Amino acid sequence: MSKVIDLSLSFPDSEEEIVSQMKLWALGRGVKGLANYRYIFGERKAQALGLTFEELERMAEELSPEEFEDMLRERARKLMVPTSQFVKELDEIGVEWGVTYAGSIERTAEVVAQYPNKFIGEVFVNPHEGMKAVKELERAVKELGLGCLYASPYRYGIQANDKKYYPLYAKAVELGIPVVFYTSMNYSTALPMDIGRPLYLDEVAMDFPEMTIIAAMGGWPWVPEMIGVARRHQNVYIDTSSIRPKYFATPGSGWEMLIQFGNTLLQDRILFASGWGTHSLWSKDMLKNIIQEIRSLPLKEEVKEKWLYKNAARLFNRD
């Protein structure tokens, strides 16, 4: 079995995270911008608990808040995956290492300290907090051993080229760490659809040519634009996170240029990233299927190995 590096290796949710998510899906009907996410993700998350989404909503209405939470906790406990088991199953799949975030900087640091050869820790800091965020990034890298910054226009409500991000980019260059960007549309009607548009990375790449930029989620539905940005800037890489790879080769899906250029001119700058947590709670079979979907794409065999392993190994100097 060939080796795999996963640059969006979601960490299994804790009991608290599962309960919090389920409350949001079940009780968030009136929350601004949430409707599409409830529709898209609510059913599959409820199924992981052994419920339909309709059953989950009905239980939220019929049970007291305390009873509803107790029910969620009981079901969530059955889904808990110890870190040791997660690592063992990653080994069985052939995932050599991955970039992960375990819910907080401190928890992520604990996981990385326990399994330094298995995980590179990702950092989320709020650009609206100015120098406080810069200092937190520096602490996370220098003191806690994390190795990647995630810049999320979606999470913080500003575009990638917003100048509030620039002190963090400068610090990332100083620290020698890559920056991952949320680069796709979003389904929240509380935000502009294009807040993660790849075009905004062009200005960032022009202003920070020394920074390693990883554009997550491939830029859909602006894939040609994403390809154009990567062709203009040698420091821009594209990852495949949170998209089922089987759709990349589907005619009319909008991914045609990723396959075309990813098999030729950009073959050295496409990075496998599963983002399996977008699709389900932890399932070894889910991640295996996502990897197999990459191996089934109409790509040259040597290109598949670049996507799945070699490009990331070179980029992170972990050959």
Query: What letter does residue 184 receive in the DSSP assignment?
Result: S
Query: What letter does residue 317 receive in the DSSP assignment?
Result: T
Which domains, ranges and CATH numbers included, belong to the chain? 4-12+82-315 (3.20.20.140), 15-77 (no CATH)
Query: What string of DSSP letters covers 241-282?
Result: TTS-GGGTTSTTSS-HHHHHHHTTTTTTSEE----GGGT-SS
- Report whether pLDDT(319) > 80: no
Distance of alpha carbon 66 from alpha carbon 74, whole angstroms: 12
Amino acid at 313: A
pTM given for the model: 0.95
Average pLDDT over residues 222-226: 98
The tens digit of pLDDT for each residue in 261-282 reads 999 999 999 999 999 998 888 8
Sequence-distant (6+) residues with CB within 8 A of 165 are: 127, 151, 158, 204
Sequence-distant (6+) residues with CB within 8 A of 302 are: none
pLDDT at position 1: 56
pLDDT at position 31: 80
Q: Are 188 and 34 in contact (CB under 8 A)?
A: yes
pLDDT at position 225: 98
The tens digit of pLDDT for each residue in 136-189 reads 999 999 999 999 999 999 999 999 999 999 999 999 999 999 999 999 999 888
pLDDT at position 27: 85
Q: Within the chain, how many helices (H) and strands (E) appear? A: 15, 8
